[in-house]
Structure 1
Amino acid sequence: WLPAPATTRHPLQPPYPRPYRFLLNEPHKCRGPRPPFLVLLVASRPSDAEGRAAIRRTWGSELAVPGVPLVRLFLTGVHPVFGAELGRLLAEESGAHRDVLQQDFVDTYHNLTLKTLMGLQWVARHCPAARYVLKADSDVFLNVPFLVRRILRPGRPPRRRFALGHVYRGTGPLRNPRIKWFVPRQVYPHRSYPPYCAGPAYVLSGDVAVAAFGAAQELPLLNMEDAFVGLCLRSLGVAVTDGPPGAFNVVRLPYERCRFGRAVVVHRYEPREVLRIWPDFTAENGTCPPWGGWDG
């Protein structure tokens, strides 16, 4: 499977590899006394300052797990209409919080793959010693302490060649051009994808994050971000691992404190909704049934 010549490239297949420029970068964020245990990469629209503020106050806090070094970064492109105006606002926001990455590609749904690759590029260049990397969308509830303490476990030897999430198996590209998940045959000619972790949130060990960015330089880009990462992992011979039952939820679930306490992610929770449930979720009251553990 070889990339189409540039003259016949489909509009849904951005040029890649290409040296997209960092307009906002945080090259020193990883320089601490210890390398991060977890780098949290959050896909974000340039205009969504309110959502980023809510995420910083809730699940995206770098102090979410006391004693465990975490790094949070928001991934953005350039707004297709108000790029210059929003660029100035993003620069101010970045100066205040030191957590925004931006490259000079247009921020659209079909360029989500470029956002993830920007994050992996940052890890490869500036934070290759990170133990784990979590890529998340902004419309999720995320339980970082549960992920770190109960699943990744800082006290155990770091995993290598590891990818964890809600795994899709036996799926293939959707060929209906009227839907946003449309993948034309020119972009991906095969009938099925290799197993891959669903895009709302998945975890890569640090070595895999670095290697996946390298693998992406050799593969034709796919406009479905999570499936493309799956293609990179297949090229590396890295198998994907299913998370514990009920931990990686790709659908919206009604809020229930104990259920969410044993989840890594619940999809389709906008940041303002997370703000509403966060006080109850973090309250020190009530008890929940014990979690049985996981050794996946």
Structure 2
Amino acid sequence: MFVNFRRIRKCQCVQLITTCLVLSLMMVCWEQLDNSVVSHVKSYSYRYLVNRYTFINKSFTIPREEAQSFSNFLYLLDHPNKCKGQDVLLLLFVKTSPENTERRKAIRSTWGNETYIRNTLGVTVKVVFVLGAPMTKPEQLLWNKRAGLGLQGELLREDLLNGDLIQQDFVDSFHNLTLKLIMQFHWAHIRCPHADFIMTADDDIFVHMPNLVHYLQDMARKGVMDFWIGHVHRGAPPIRSKDSKYYVPFEMYQWSSYPDYTAGAGYVVSRDVADKIYQATLTLNASIYIDDVFMGICANAMGVSPQEHVYFSGEGKAPYHLCIYDQMMTSHGHIEDIYHLWKVATHPQVKQRTSGLAGRLYCTAVKLALLCQPYHFNTYPCKAAFL
């Protein structure tokens, strides 16, 4: 029988090259997967088997004089009478950066419009934007024209017009987010201690204010305490990859798991929890620069645990559909579409089409299709379809 050895050798060569490429790809992917799997296994083992977060509390506890260095900043912009003489249901802090003027403008015109909330929903919600000072470090020379007095001057004019900026003189940057968190709870403790609830949110988040207000009114009537809701991260491991924005070196945090915390995109706490967090910041080391993790450390030190609310999103954007809007609380990642989303999400037609037996059955089917996807994560879980 005639055999074409040249063709056999060619096929073997192709197979060898293909095998090498596949193995190389698997090795690269496996290294990343292996790091993720190992870190999560270690994290869950620590959380459920060891669960000695008291070690973390002791490690982060420092003298009050030292802890004061994380809050001892001057106010460049402040409104000490913002809540004075008013029954405040919700004090809402929006974390923003000096240059995000258009985002603040959009929020004031939509879900953060205090006049709309008061006139339409019948409650007082105070919305303030918290920020640090514009960046002026030497390595940021390209920012200098706008980041120095020019941008600060714009902020002063913006605040004169709107009266809602709270600013301290630390540099506004990702690595100073924990300072911004501390500023919020200190300001609330001093300026608005009687607010029933405190919320912190990013400036690219959408808040369905009618839904949130009705929910918090119900919680207030029930007299809830130890109340902390949001998108909960449980047993999350520190990220040790230096390429990540959220990289935390071993020297900063040596344990395999963080205490449970809510995603910093948006969460709500009751007045008593806000006071406990304030007290924790007076004695804890705030050098860890991931603010939502530090919030978890503070809450753990005070014996407070977060509660999952399925309609608070994490880092993801909720699907666009009236059946989602019906129970939506927050959705993350909204900038250009915030005006449109506000219009459609609060339209009276939403409640009309989702009410009654037929509406509820229809929405259950829709949400099953939208939320119960294998690639769908960090917004609302599949179980939200049944609530």
Structure 2-normalised TM-score? 0.68
Flag the 1:171–1:117 CA change in 2: closer, same or farther, 3 A: same
Q: Quote the Cα distance in structure 2 between the aligned partners of 1:206 and 1:4.
A: 23
Deviation at 1:152, TM superposition (A): 4.5
Question: Given the alignment of the two structures, is residue 145 of structure 1 paired with residue 191 of structure 2, yes or no?
Answer: no
Indicate the SS of the match to 2:121.
coil
Task: Give the structure 2 partner of residue 24 of structure 1.
Answer: 77
Task: Give the structure 2 partner of residue 183 of structure 1.
Answer: 248
Q: 1:209 aligns with which of 270, 274, 296?
A: 274
Alignment of 1:1-296 (within 5 A): 1-2=58-59, 16-32=69-85, 34-62=86-114, 63-64=116-117, 66-81=121-136, 82-153=147-218, 156-221=221-286, 222-243=288-309, 245-270=310-335, 272-285=336-349, 287-290=352-355
Flag the 1:154–1:97 CA change in 2: closer, same or farther, 3 A: farther
Indicate the SS of the match to 2:354.
coil
Indicate the SS of the match to 1:184.
coil
Contact 1:40-1:73 within 8 A present in 2 as well? yes
Indicate the SS of the match to 1:156.
helix
Q: Quote the Cα distance in structure 1 between the aligned partners of 2:214 and 2:133.
A: 36
Q: Quote the Cα distance in structure 2 between the aligned partners of 1:106 and 1:175.
A: 25
Q: Quote the Cα distance in structure 2 between the aligned partners of 1:4 and 1:182.
A: 22
Contact 1:76-1:103 within 8 A present in 2 as well? yes
Aligned length in residues: 282
Q: Quote the Cα distance in structure 1 between the aligned partners of 2:175 and 2:326.
A: 33
Gaps of 5+ in 2: 1-57, 137-146, 365-383
Q: Quote the Cα distance in structure 1 between the aligned partners of 2:148 and 2:326.
A: 39
Indicate the SS of the match to 1:129.
coil
Contact 2:61-2:283 within 8 A present in 1 as well? no
Query: Which stretch has the larger CA shift, 185-194 or 254-263?
Result: 254-263
Flag the 1:288–1:158 CA change in 2: closer, same or farther, 3 A: farther
Deviation at 1:4, TM superposition (A): 11
Q: Which amino acid aligns with 1:125?
A: I
Q: Which amino acid aligns with 2:75?
A: F
Flag the 1:199–1:253 CA change in 2: closer, same or farther, 3 A: same
Contact 1:76-1:101 within 8 A present in 2 as well? yes
Q: Which amino acid aligns with 2:338?
A: V
Indicate the SS of the match to 1:101.
strand
Contact 1:247-1:262 within 8 A present in 2 as well? no
Structure with higher Rg: it is 2
Indicate the SS of the match to 2:349.
coil
Give the share of equivalent positions with the same residue, in percent: 32
More helix by share: 2
Q: Which has the higher contact order (CA 8 A, sep 6+)?
A: 1
Contact 1:16-1:220 within 8 A present in 2 as well? no
Q: Which amino acid aligns with 1:169?
A: R
Contact 1:133-1:206 within 8 A present in 2 as well? yes
Query: Which stretch has the larger CA shift, 114-123 or 16-25?
Result: 16-25
Contact 1:77-1:102 within 8 A present in 2 as well? yes
Deviation at 1:88, TM superposition (A): 1.3
Indicate the SS of the match to 2:206.
strand
Q: Quote the Cα distance in structure 2 between the aligned partners of 1:85 and 1:247.
A: 37
Q: Which amino acid aligns with 1:147?
A: L
Deviation at 1:151, TM superposition (A): 4.8
Indicate the SS of the match to 1:118.
helix
Indicate the SS of the match to 1:285.
helix
Structure 1-normalised TM-score? 0.88
More strand by share: 1
RMSD of aligned Cα (Å) = 2.3
Contact 1:16-1:217 within 8 A present in 2 as well? no
Q: Which string of whole-angstrom CA distances, capped at 9 and with x for unpartnered residues, describes residues 150-184 of structure 1?
A: 35526614322211111110112101111110111
Q: Which amino acid aligns with 1:104?
A: D
